[in-house]
Structure 1
Amino acid sequence: MGISYEQADKALKAAIAKAQDLDLKMNIAIVDAGANLTAFARMDGAWLGSVDIAIRKARTARFFDMPTGDLGQASQPGGPLYNIEHSNGGLITFPGGIPIKNGAGEIIGAIGVSGSTVENDHTVAEAGLKALT
């Protein structure tokens, strides 16, 4: 089973609340197990260029079932996955995308966040994830 709309909405709202707590303007995307966009929010004033990045972070996290920052470590020059970001129509390999698992540990989707530093993007994505655990 993939993430339900209700779960995606819960994660989205938690991520928005965290972004507001940090006084950030973010784009937040939730994809299902098939990497299809399930929920999205562009907070007022969030960068337009980050819309695509948030969606690609969520899709990348689901395509490879790992946080995008972890994939980024392996995709550095000389790394085993160098240049992987050019596959699948373009991936994002820096922090801010995290797979979402159900209670049985199965991946049901992913969250992607963009609009600030990669550290803040990851923090806001984690808040969305934690709302479902």
Structure 2
Amino acid sequence: MESTQPKSVPPCPFTKLYPSQLIRDEAFFRKLAYNQAIDAWKAGEVPIGAVIEYEGQIIGADHNRVESTQDPTAHAEILAITQAARHRGDWRLNGARLFVTKEPCPMCSGATAMARISHVYYAHTDPKMGCL
């Protein structure tokens, strides 16, 4: 008989970062993506976070939700792109920048290209599934 209990999530060994709101540089948006990854870890998800910035404003931010939604496409980048497109009222995200904690997979790289995101910044390479 399969247990209906949620799987045990180990405590997160990392703490969130609180960047200054005054300086919205690349480091600021990277830290916000990192914080999204911590939220993913705490939710029992693969700890990947993404933030999309346009003209200094956050127009999309999320973390992986594959486990909670049972949707294999619910990657942080895809969810953030969807939010950003809704925010802009246009699927073309020209001029936007994506900050993500891990190199995007082929699916997310394709979505990034299709959304016409201008720049992608990632913290860690993924030799197994990375596609940039």
TM-score normalised by structure 1 residue count:
0.32
Greater relative contact order (Cα < 8 A, sep 6+)? 1
Pair member with larger Rg: 2
TM-score normalised by structure 2 residue count:
0.32
Higher relative helix content: 1
